[in-house]
Structure 1
């Protein structure tokens, strides 16, 4: 009689490399004021956004994703070695199939790697990190390239003042794999409430939602309902993720929230007990980039040195679905550890 297989060890799993990309085209509040009934002061006071990036002709989500990975490789040149799965979180895929993840993998030369998309709108990056974590835990992958990329400027009515001013295009990319003890992911909290679908949606195949709501050509949003939902779920999911990880608000070095609106971020920070000074906010320059939002902010804070090796990070997001997600991890600065390993023994003695 055969013996059962020994349980597989599960080493810590975390983010080992990060990069981001935003298109070159800058669209300012003045650009909207020139043709819509609005102005820079109103937009900044109501959203915190001063400018955003829009894709140009020929730039799609896969292009942004590839460029985010190229930015990642500038600092982490060996990061793609051993990658055997590619996951892309996007609400604006290049095509229904092939997946945007497969298109990105093909352009990066990752032949044979599993590749698929995750659709959870602005919560997509947190969902994707959880999926990548699970793939590795299950033994289905050993190293995952995870991308969040969206081109919302293509699906938003640029003549609708209520939505046009909010959204921009961007992408972020991370590599997820084994990290040393004491680092990596500690908890995830994911959820969705499909009964709120009428409040935030992008039409694809159907012309109406199950509720009977007729969907137009562009993104639909009930701003008041989304606001109330967003503050509540960002706080609830953030607290739940901290609780699962055995953390309190004082343990968190950095909060990375979905960059939707400063009027959502500020009350969420207050209720989480995390000051704005410990919160990564860059929406004034990028607006809401959906699945690109959290990784763009993460990459920026890592690259400018705010997030340091061993620091505790909480990420929280919400989006269409209606969906939400939160996760905690300790940042592993692989460049710092690689440099330490490369120093001759006599120097470190």
Structure 2
């Protein structure tokens, strides 16, 4: 029998910032909407926000750390976990949205690319290790994994490091209540090509871009404070429309990936979904199972970290994976043969998913 090249996960790592930001940190904030001060008391605003998103805490990076620094920290852990020689990496793909942002600057720096900065920090000499950045909204890391699969199965690469990192705390509008959603963090994964008689690793994937009618759901815009004169632009989103879009479209993309793998939703043992909004992720799962004629979602299928880590964009999925594999998410584990869904949605609007057998 002939062997198959499988794209498998051989190592994971994450960096979770030490600074814990609770809802109380926003008690003295002044929130505006459409140029007017919100009339509700901040206690009510914060409480309602937590109820809707399920976010209680989020993490902010230390002032001296940039996205490339925390990405490198996660990468070092992934390389160590994989037990490989860093010089054998064929690609480093760094997935992010805003590059490096220094505290209180609101200016992005992507020269050189964050991947090149990480390669330098890791001390990799090999010029055949190609380092580049991927800008794809929150689904960036999932798309990086898909690119890694293409490289490996084409024979172009043996090992690919895919990093997702962001310091969103430095690009949010302090006068926008949606700013409470976002956080900082980094996750990294080593993908390797391994020959096997059995099919494992990445089984199938699907990506879609819905730009024509939905590109404006996540954009950069002016601050909400009416006296804002800095000229800075901040991360802005149409939360209600984004929720409606995601709940309808994401389950369909996940189903296409599952069907492409020749499986059914009943074959799925665990789902690593972008930690965007707790209630939204729950609604996505319910809609997915309804597409298969199922009325209930099995317990302990979807591990969640959003309540204590917030939404760190491209970092949420690889961080979640690392925490589950390291037994740091209570009630969740994976074993050989388990089938997982990895899925995300974000600015673009992009949606993607891949199916993976451990």
TM category, shorter: 0.7 to 0.9
Paired residues in the alignment total 313
Alignment of 1:253-332 (within 5 A): 253-273=269-289, 274-275=297-298, 277-304=300-327, 306-331=333-358
Contact kept, 8 Å, 1:43 with 1:50, in 2: the verdict is no
Q: Distance in 2 between matches of 1:233 and 1:117?
A: 26
**Counterparts in 2 of 1:133 and 1:202: CA distance versus 1, 3 Å:** farther
**Corresponding residue for residue 71 of structure 2:** 65
| Aligned twin of 2:137 | 121
Report deviation, 1:191. Answer: 1.2
From 115, 123, 127, give the equivalent of 1:101: 115
What corresponds to 2:33 in structure 1?
none
1:143-194 per-residue CA deviation (whole Å, 9 max, x = no partner) reads: 1011011111111112211x21100011110001123433200111111122
- CA apart distance, 1:228: 0.9
- Is the 2:248–2:287 contact (alpha carbons within 8 Å) kept by the matching residues of 1? no
Question: Shift of residue 216 of structure 1?
Answer: 6.2
1:18 deviation in Å? 0.9
State the partner residue of 1:169. 184
Q: Which residue of 2 aligns with 1:336?
A: none
Which residue of 2 is the match for residue 234 of structure 1? 250
Residue ranges of structure 1 left out of the alignment (5+ in a row): 1-7, 204-214, 332-349
| Distance 1:285-1:124 versus aligned 2 partners, 3 A rule | same
2:200 to 183, 186, 191: 183
Equivalent runs, 1:206-217 vs 2, <5 Å: 217=233
3-state SS, counterpart of residue 202 of structure 1: strand
**1:58 Cα deviation from its structure 2 partner:** 2.2
Q: Write the mapping of 1:37-116 to structure 2, written as runs, cut at 5 A.
A: 37-39=41-43, 40-78=46-84, 80=86, 82-94=88-100, 95-111=109-125, 112=127, 113-116=129-132
Write the distance in 1 (CA, Å) between the matches of 2:164 and 2:271: 18
Matches of 2:218 and 2:342 in 1, distance apart?
Answer: 21
1:197 corresponds to which of 198, 210, 215: 215
Q: How many angstroms apart in 2 are the aligned matches of 1:176 and 1:148? A: 14
The structure in which a higher percent of residues are strand is 2
Could you tell me how far 1:73 is from its partner in structure 2?
Answer: 4.0
1:188 touches 1:241 (CA, 8 Å); kept in 2? yes
TM-score where L is the length of structure 1? 0.84
Alignment partner, residue 33 of structure 1 = 27
Question: How far does residue 38 in structure 1 lie from its aligned partner after superposition?
Answer: 3.2
For residues 318-345 of structure 1, give each alpha carbon's deviation from its aligned partner in whole angstroms, at most 9, with x where no partner exists: 00011111110012xxxxxxxxxxxxxx
Offset of residue 225 of structure 1: 1.1
TM-score (norm 2): 0.82
SS at 2:92 equivalent: strand
Question: Distance between the aligned counterparts of 1:10 and 1:135, measured in 2?
Answer: 15
| SS at structure 1 position matched to 2:63 | coil
1:110 to partner: Cα distance: 2.2
Name the CA distance, whole Å, in 2 between partners of 1:107 and 1:230: 37
Deviation of 1:34 after TM superposition, in Å, equals: 3.7
Checking the alignment, whether the CA contact within 8 Å between 2:6 and 2:153 is kept in structure 1 is: no
